[in-house]
Amino acid sequence: MKKLLALFLAGAMMLSLAACGGDDTKETEAAKVTAADTKAAETKAADTKADETKGAGEEKPAGNGETYKIGLAAMLTGDNALNGERMQKASEMVIAQYNEAAGYEKFVLNTEDDLTTNEGALTAVQKLISDGCLAIIGPHRSSAALAVSDTVAEQQVCVLVGGTSVAIDGSNNYMFRTRASDAIMATVAATFCKDTLEAKKVGILHASDEYGQGGADAAMAFFDAQGIEYVDCPHNVNDVDFTSAILECQSAGCDTVFTWTHDAETAIIYQQLATYMPEVNKIASPGLTLDNVLNLCEDNWVDGAYSVTDFISTSTDTVAVDFVKAYEGLYGETPDLYAAAYYGAAVTICEAILACEEAGEVTPQAVRDAIAAGETKTLPTGDFYNDDANNLVHSCVIAKLNGKAPEFVQSVSE
Amino acid sequence: MSTMVFQLLITGIAYGMIYSLVGIEYTLIWNSSGLLNFSHDKLITLGAYIFGGSMIIKMNLDNPIAIVLTLAIMGVVGALLAAGIFNRLYSMRSNIFAIIGTVVLAKIISEFIRLFWGSGNMRVSGWLDKTYFIGGFAITSANIVIIIVAILLVAVLEVFFKFTKTGKAMRCVEQNKKAAALMGININRSICITTALSAMICAVIGFLVIPLVNISATMATTIGLKGFCSGVIGGFGYIPGAIAGGIFIGVVENLATIFIPAVYKDAVSFLLLIVFLLIKPTGFLGKRAQGR
Amino acid sequence: MNNMKNNKNMKNALKWAVVLAVVLCLPNIIRNDYWMVVFVRVLINIVLVLGLNLITGLIGQMNLGSAGIYALGAYSSALFVKNTGLSPWLGLLVAVVTGIVIGLVLGYPSLRLKGVYFSLTTIGFTQVVQIFLNNMTKVTGGSQGLKSIAPFSIFGFQFDSYIKSYYLYVAFVLIAIFCAVRIVNSKWGRLYRSLRDNSDAVEMSGINIADVKVKAFIAAAIFGTVAGAMYAHFYGYISPSTYTVDISMNFVLMLLVGGLGSVSGAMFGAVIVTILPELLRGLGNYYLITFYIIIFLGILFFPNGWVEAASRPIKKIIAKRKKEESASGEK
């Protein structure tokens, strides 16, 4: 019995020693492997580069060749799934169009859910990069975009984000913005308040998250510079009662109400404005032109209100009209500004890949460079070209609601 | 100024009534089974979707028929939940299972809602959305209906618990499960009835908040949490306490916005919650202070 | 008897050695950045859940404030490093101090509050933390969050890639496991379990419950804030929208899936709840509901955790065989 025990003990000791020893060697090995890994990765990347170039060069004349993966990281589950759905539909539509033109499945869309969290966004984007996507559409939210910012720069795969926050400052060369920034849109809205609505005192109702705060900050900076008085009324996301904010604006004697917030909140604010301040001038963030918001409103709540937005489906611009027609034909519903914005993003990526193919080198880096250097394209949300701050879109639209129908008032470029 | 105070008071009372109803709805389940139902906000949402999304918008039914049908469906849903899930959860060794069980249930319900009704928001046009002006004050029909329905509901529950056999049996279970079982009361059946009742109250809350918050996946999240606060502040596990606590929170958080930025409005409720838990965990009407 | 115990110990050591070997080799086997991100998430979650296990698993107090603790850990370390420009290791120290403070603050109410009251307080705590992080823009950067948070480094060697962070965090987790095992198997751990089962009896035997509980909370909060700091220095970006009651619930979920009260259970749960949704991604639109249904059925039918559920039949067979052996031996 004792012998057995001794044997066990010795065995256990040896094992633990082996485990410890294993630790050390493995740790150092790991360090080595890391170095080797990056090298391997580099050579691998070079290989695929060579492959792809070869493929593109050889097979193109035959009319059948490489397939290219494009990633989409979107909010497909959770509370903002509608947004993700529109992103997905618009991207799929573009891919289908380009595949039809190529005559085969040239482009493949890999879609991943970002769970509406920052970790989820990083995981989704990393999965898309690891799966070999050349460029990625999304994530949509600004904080998610910021969360993936370092990663995409490190791995040199570009993302086309819809985050409009001013915190996305263009310092990352692998992050392009496909919507006009909050600062631009909110300043346009504020300018409109001053010039057209002739506001003397403005009530600013905005969400306290990065979206609402970014817009409100820009507007307040403008009003400060112009000497226009304003009342700052922030609210938390998912708030459902804005009575106190509206009463504050009312008692301060505001003649204009400027709202910069999310869809559900916008609808409730407009409902409560109709009750307490029916005569006030109103201008809102892009959300007000969305069907998702207008479906929650009565005609008279929103009638006469203005909105600064990326895109309205009633636009008479030929590119926009074609886009709306194609989208309606495919899905039986009217595209909203998200669909339009990400349609533009998908087209930009496909064009960039085609340009790379032409030049004989299709790598994520080449695609990024092609997007950065791409020619100006006219898309539903305006002219797409890259500027110093990696913004692709430079204009927005002011719409006036006639009943619930958004009507084009003017287009404003940077 | 006084106009504003009065206006905020009305809104506060209306919201307070909603919090009270939420307080009642989960206190019923708590009392009968010791289960804190964290899926209650999703049951409210589910009720609103069944009523607004299916009955009114899709099937175009008349309001009274839609209300009755939704109540019936939610009652059945509640009974099924109790029979299949809650009865199992409450008998587990730790209340952690019960809480997390209902949390996961909430996730399942909300994903189901997304898959079934889609992810867009909805509104029921013409449902309690009139506004009356009385001497410069705006009062919405929703606020009036909320206050009336809440009072009626409390009265009906009172009668039910005091004068019907089932209600009396439920009160017995609440006070002492063992004794109730010995007296021949079927505890599982009692939990089923309570849960069904609670789910129906959830549906009523759903009807009432539609004109205030519209129908969306997150419509009841804040209301649900504030409902918990109202229970604690008034007296946990004690229905009159939940009512008083709800109205108290509704009024205080609304009036507080006169003095502090509105973004801290929610923080007021939760700070009140913490303060009450630390200083007077029985709440201001509380009789008992047992946490399970 | 002695022999049996040794046997068990050795088996345990063997088990841990195999797990460790697999963990160390993993990056070399998988070689995929996406999975590395997922694994680092798992490691961070393990540290937090090990802490949560002390409060929720051992004492049986349901803490739904993990998100608040996690947030304060992340923000304290990140803000310290950003404002002073000093090493993240000092930031980690600041996070530990924050943990001690939170432990004292949360520990105090727990002396008086039981069960659901405690859970509600912790929910309130998380909500208040989030609202303040969001709106105290000047200090916390508000809703735009903090970006470019420096990664850990030792003598100029930066842990800036996934694989490097992975190995560093494996070391963190090993230390965390060591501490957790020591606590669980110590006099304290036994005391905690007896508190869960019958706190009155413990009190009557003359032990100062208050003191013991506050210690548990401090330990747990330190685990939580360290996990927060690990998060901040790995992702390099934090924002208040991450720290919701939802993720607090998720952490408790990890604990339940693994089995309340055991260190290996806590780790297993963190692994399953983080990785399973990733594995189910292929189901597209239905993947999340599938995940939750699986977890839900798990809670209903395997309330002692999946580890126990899986090992029960094996244990039965072993017990049966032993019985037979001893029976035949007697003959």
Q: Could you write out the DSSP letters of every residue in A42-71?
A: HHHHHHHHHHHHHHHHHHGGGT----EEEE
For chain C, what is the mean pLDDT?
A: 87
Find, among C196, C78, C177, C57, the residue nearest to C133 by Cα.
C78
- A413 sits in the region (left: phi over 0; alpha: psi -120 to 50; else beta) called beta
For chain A, what is the mean pLDDT?
A: 84
Residue A202 main-chain phi, psi, to 5 deg: -115, 135
Is B140 in Cβ contact with A240 (below 8 Å)?
no
Spatial separation of the C-alpha atoms in residues B279 and C121, rounded to whole Å: 12
Calculate how close chain C gets to A278, using CA atoms only, in Å.
30
Compare CB distances from C299 to B104, B264, B292 and report the shortest one's residue: B104
Question: How confident is the model at residue B51, as a pLDDT?
Answer: 95
- Which of C9, C135, C136, C143 should we substitute to test contact with A (largest number of A Cβ atoms within 10 Å)? C143
Q: Is residue A80 situated within a structural domain? A: yes
Question: How confident is the model at residue C324, as a pLDDT?
Answer: 79
Model confidence band, residue C58 (pLDDT cutoffs 50, 70, 90) = confident
Question: How confident is the model at residue A134, as a pLDDT?
Answer: 95
Compare CB distances from C285 to B96, B115, B264 and report the shortest one's residue: B115
Average pLDDT value for residue range B172-196: 86
**B168 has a pLDDT exceeding 90:** no
DSSP C159: -
CATH classification at residue A332: 3.40.50.2300
How do residues B80-121 score in pLDDT, each as one tens digit? 999 988 888 878 877 788 888 999 999 999 999 999 998 888
- Give the CA distances from residue B236 to residues A76, B36, B153, B291, in Å, rounded to whole numbers and listed in that order: 38, 11, 19, 9
What letter represents residue C177's amino acid? I
How do residues C262-302 score in pLDDT, each as one tens digit? 888 899 999 999 999 999 998 888 999 999 999 999 988 88
Q: Is residue C5 situated within a structural domain? A: no
CATH classification at residue C152: 1.10.3470
- Note whether C307 and C259 are within 8 A (CB): yes
Q: Hey, what are A343's tokens?
A: 């349609």
- Note whether A274 and A298 are within 8 A (CB): yes
Spatial separation of the C-alpha atoms in residues C245 and B22, rounded to whole Å: 19
Q: Hey, what are B28's tokens?
A: 């019923």
Nearest CA in chain C to B268: C128
For chain B, what is the mean pLDDT?
A: 88
Is C289 in Cβ contact with B97 (below 8 Å)?
no
Same domain, A81 and A151: yes
Model confidence band, residue A40 (pLDDT cutoffs 50, 70, 90) = very low
Q: Is residue C165 situated within a structural domain? A: yes
Q: Is residue C264 situated within a structural domain? A: yes
Same domain, A220 and A137: no
Nearest CA in chain C to A126: C34
Q: Hey, what are C11's tokens?
A: 């088996």
Question: How confident is the model at residue C8, as a pLDDT?
Answer: 74
Question: How confident is the model at residue B286, as a pLDDT?
Answer: 64
Question: How confident is the model at residue C190, as a pLDDT?
Answer: 83
**C45 has a pLDDT exceeding 80:** yes
Q: Is residue A358 situated within a structural domain? A: yes
Q: Is residue C315 situated within a structural domain? A: yes
What letter represents residue A252's amino acid? A
Question: How confident is the model at residue A413, as a pLDDT?
Answer: 85
Q: Is residue C6 situated within a structural domain? A: no
What letter represents residue C104's amino acid? L
Compare CB distances from A263 to B121, B131, B262 and report the shortest one's residue: B121
Question: How confident is the model at residue A63, as a pLDDT?
Answer: 47
Calculate how close chain B gets to C22, using CA atoms only, in Å.
31
The residue with tokens 């908040």 is B209
Model confidence band, residue A14 (pLDDT cutoffs 50, 70, 90) = very low
- Note whether B97 and C252 are within 8 A (CB): no
Same domain, A174 and A223: no
Residue C42 CB coordination number (10 Å): 21
Strand partners, A112: A73
Calculate how close chain C gets to A405, using CA atoms only, in Å.
32
Q: Hey, what are B261's tokens?
A: 């930025």
Domain count, chain A: 2
**A79 has a pLDDT exceeding 90:** no
Is C3 in Cβ contact with A5 (below 8 Å)?
yes
Contacts of A22 (CB under 8 A, 6+ apart): C17, C20, C21, C24
Compare CB distances from B264 to C118, C131, C293 and report the shortest one's residue: C131
DSSP B122: B
Is A81 in Cβ contact with B119 (below 8 Å)?
yes
Nearest CA in chain A to C18: A19
- Note whether A216 and A206 are within 8 A (CB): yes
Residue A267: domain span: 183-309
Query: Which chain B residues are closer than 8 Å to C123 by Cβ?
Result: 225, 228, 270
Same domain, A202 and A133: no
CA angle (A317, A322, A323) in 5-degree steps: 100
What letter represents residue A259's amino acid? T
Tell me what ipTM this predicted complex has: 0.87
How far from chain centre, in Å, is Cα A32? 38
Find, among B33, B38, B59, B50, the residue nearest to B195 by Cα.
B33
How far from chain centre, in Å, is Cα B216? 17
Question: How confident is the model at residue A53, as a pLDDT?
Answer: 41
How far from chain centre, in Å, is Cα C239? 21
Model confidence band, residue C198 (pLDDT cutoffs 50, 70, 90) = confident
Q: Would you list which residues of chain B are within 8 Å, Cβ to Cβ, of chain A?
A: 1, 3-4, 7-8, 11, 15, 111, 114, 118-123, 125, 129, 131, 138, 140, 209, 212-214, 216-219, 221-223, 254, 257-258, 261-263, 265-266
How do residues A380-395 score in pLDDT, each as one tens digit? 988 899 988 899 999 8
**C260 has a pLDDT exceeding 50:** yes
- Give the CA distances from residue A321 to residues A314, A394, A398, in Å, rounded to whole numbers and listed in that order: 8, 20, 17
**C305 has a pLDDT exceeding 70:** yes
Calculate how close chain C gets to A214, using CA atoms only, in Å.
9
Calculate how close chain A gets to C279, using CA atoms only, in Å.
12
Q: Hey, what are B197's tokens?
A: 């009742």
- Note whether B240 and B200 are within 8 A (CB): no
Calculate how close chain C gets to A132, using CA atoms only, in Å.
11
Question: How confident is the model at residue C315, as a pLDDT?
Answer: 80
Model confidence band, residue C4 (pLDDT cutoffs 50, 70, 90) = low
Find, among B241, B242, B266, B247, the residue nearest to B256 by Cα.
B266
- Give the CA distances from residue B29 to residues B15, B80, B83, B156, B197, in Å, rounded to whole numbers and listed in that order: 22, 14, 13, 17, 9
Terminal alpha carbon distance of chain B:
45
Cβ–Cβ contact A117 with B under 8 A: no
Question: How confident is the model at residue A330, as a pLDDT?
Answer: 94
Highest mean pLDDT (candidates A123-132, A163-172, B30-39): A123-132
Share of chain A above pLDDT 70, in %: 85
Model confidence band, residue B71 (pLDDT cutoffs 50, 70, 90) = very high
Question: How confident is the model at residue A33, as a pLDDT?
Answer: 37
Nearest CA in chain C to A22: C21
Spatial separation of the C-alpha atoms in residues C12 and C35, rounded to whole Å: 28
Calculate how close chain B gets to C91, using CA atoms only, in Å.
28
Nearest CA in chain B to C287: B111
H-type helices in chain C, by residue range? Answer: 2-30, 33-52, 66-84, 88-112, 115-135, 137-140, 162-185, 187-197, 199-204, 209-235, 245-258, 263-280, 287-301, 306-330
Spatial separation of the C-alpha atoms in residues C303 and C211, rounded to whole Å: 30
Model confidence band, residue B1 (pLDDT cutoffs 50, 70, 90) = low
Query: Which chain B residues are closer than 8 Å to C245 by Cβ?
Result: 225
Q: Hey, what are A58's tokens?
A: 């050889």
Q: Is residue A13 situated within a structural domain? A: no
Q: Is residue A44 situated within a structural domain? A: no
Model confidence band, residue B280 (pLDDT cutoffs 50, 70, 90) = confident
- Note whether A190 and A308 are within 8 A (CB): no
Cβ–Cβ contact A45 with C under 8 A: no
C-contacting residues in A 220-259 (Cβ below 8 Å): 234, 236
- Which of A80, A209, A261 should we substitute to test contact with C (largest number of C Cβ atoms within 10 Å)? A209
Spatial separation of the C-alpha atoms in residues A48 and A61, rounded to whole Å: 20
Compare CB distances from A12 to C13, C38, C278 and report the shortest one's residue: C13
Residue A398 main-chain phi, psi, to 5 deg: -100, 130
Residue C63: domain span: 32-330
Same domain, A208 and A296: yes
Query: Which chain A residues are closer than 8 Å to B7 by Cβ?
Result: 243, 247, 276
Find the range with the poorest average confidence among A361-365, B42-46, C17-21.
C17-21
Question: How confident is the model at residue C180, as a pLDDT?
Answer: 92
- CA trace torsion C246, C248, C250, C253 (10° rounding): -130
Same domain, A176 and A201: no
Residue C281 CB coordination number (10 Å): 16
Spatial separation of the C-alpha atoms in residues B216 and A80, rounded to whole Å: 10
Find the range with the poorest average confidence among A20-29, C142-151, C314-323.
A20-29
Q: Is residue C227 situated within a structural domain? A: yes
Question: How confident is the model at residue A315, as a pLDDT?
Answer: 84
Spatial separation of the C-alpha atoms in residues A84 and B57, rounded to whole Å: 24
Query: Which chain B residues are closer than 8 Å to A276 by Cβ?
Result: 7, 138
Domain count, chain C: 1
Q: Is residue A274 situated within a structural domain? A: yes
H-type helices in A234-363, by residue range? Answer: 243-252, 263-276, 291-294, 299-302, 318-331, 337-359
Peptide bond into A139 cis (omega under 30): yes
**Surface-to-core class of residue A383, CB atoms within 10 Å of its CB (0-12 exposed, 13-18 middle, 19+ buried):** middle
Compare CB distances from C121 to B92, B99, B277 and report the shortest one's residue: B277
Average pLDDT value for residue range A118-125: 93
**A42 has a pLDDT exceeding 60:** no
Find, among B249, B240, B165, B151, the residue nearest to B204 by Cα.
B151
Q: Is residue A320 situated within a structural domain? A: yes
State which of A309, A339, A369 marks the end of a domain.
A309
List chains touching C (3+ CB pairs under 8 A).
A, B
DSSP A156: T
Is B219 in Cβ contact with A240 (below 8 Å)?
yes
